[in-house]
Amino acid sequence: MIMKGAKKMKWKAPKNELISILKNMTFPKSVLLIVASGQINFTSSDNTVMTKSHVEAIIDEVGSACVSATVLYDILTKLRGDYVTFETKEQTLLVKGLKTTVSIALLDMVNFPYQITEPDNWLFTIQSSDLKKAIKKTNHAIQSEKVPDTLKGLQIQASGNELIFIGTDKKQFAMFKLELPSEEHFEAIIPKEHLKWLENILGSGEVSFALQDNFGVFATSTHVLYTRTLNGPYPSLLKMLALKPVCKITLDSDVLINSVELATVTADKTTTKGTKLVYLSTKEDGLTIVARNELGSTNDYIEAATEGDEVKVVYDSSHLIHAVKAAAMSKAELGFVGADSPLIISGDEGTYVISAIKSREVF
């Protein structure tokens, strides 16, 4: 007897190719649908994200089956031999290696989470390396806890020929831009928890994107990833970027990061719910960075090109470090909007904003 929805099948494929494909399709608690017909088609899902792929194989008997993706992947990584044979028998899938046979319980195919077709039209196609860079430069500003659901993801929006990626937790903002060859207009929010699965399927080629049935769909030459989108209002970064800095400073990024990291050692966190505060004061020809707690204090001065008014303001040290690193400029360009006001950090391809923290302490 075969489990409901399954059809008897038998096929054989190279083990390393299977491991390479399934590695990027195996999520915690994911279910894997296998269909043998012309080629071996795989679909895995955990109810929130779904991935499709395929592999060429020697098929003796067409059919289908459903098993635990994590169990099958774990078996393949430990099985000896260059080829693996799969065969359904009664209520199990037999997985045969060099001299080993492992049986896996079949799951009910009728209750497989999703059956979604590929989009007919794609909104954009870009280099996978550009999407990797967009995620890397914005991911630090996205939080998965203690924020509204819509902020737990990366916003992707197209406005004309600009493709914009934004991450924020309302205390820090990160924006990365790319040019599109054609005009598009859309918005989507991709959950942060799925970004790692997206990064896993990105190779050296191109990646295409579409929206379908409340899913964001990413397609590469080897995989198609479907991720549920988040719905709701997303904060606008444009209003913050419209603010005019009253002071601009340009200084060496590595020196600035080193100074803030040093100050973090003595930054107060006992009265700020774990936030480590650093106090910045702009001077006529540089920047002073101060931090203090019950164990000690740090006072550092960095010479820098300065233009505008002198400003005193407090920031979260981790927000400042993340933003300067993401800007990836040899010289950091800091725009101080004023006391108790945001700091704007500019990069070649991205813009980063961190909110000030109000403090009554004199520094």
DSSP 3-state percent helix, strand, coil across the chain (nearest 5): 20, 45, 35
Contact 268, 347 (CB under 8 A): no
pLDDT confidence tier of residue 1, bands split at 50, 70 and 90: very low
Higher pLDDT, 341 or 359: 341
Q: What pLDDT, on a 0 to 100 scale, did the predictor assign at position 228?
A: 92
pLDDT digits (tens, 9 = 90+) for 286-315: 999 999 888 889 999 999 999 999 999 999
Residues in the chain, total: 363
Mean pLDDT over 15-32 rounds to 93
Mean pLDDT over 22-46 rounds to 93
pLDDT digits (tens, 9 = 90+) for 242-257: 889 999 999 999 999 9
In whole angstroms, give the CA distance from residue 180 to residue 130: 12
Q: What pLDDT, on a 0 to 100 scale, did the predictor assign at position 360?
A: 65
pLDDT confidence tier of residue 270, bands split at 50, 70 and 90: low
pLDDT digits (tens, 9 = 90+) for 100-119: 999 999 998 877 766 778 89
Percent of the chain past pLDDT 90, that is, above it, reads 75
Contact 268, 293 (CB under 8 A): yes
DSSP of 11-50: EEEEHHHHHHHHHTT--TT-EEEEEEESEEEEEEE-SSEE
Contact 245, 309 (CB under 8 A): no
Contacts of residue 215, defined as CB under 8 A and 6 or more positions apart, other chains included, come to 50, 116, 226, 227, 228, 229
Nearest to 65 by CA among 158, 3, 132, 142: 3
Mean pLDDT over 87-112 rounds to 92
In whole angstroms, give the CA distance from residue 150 to residue 289: 34
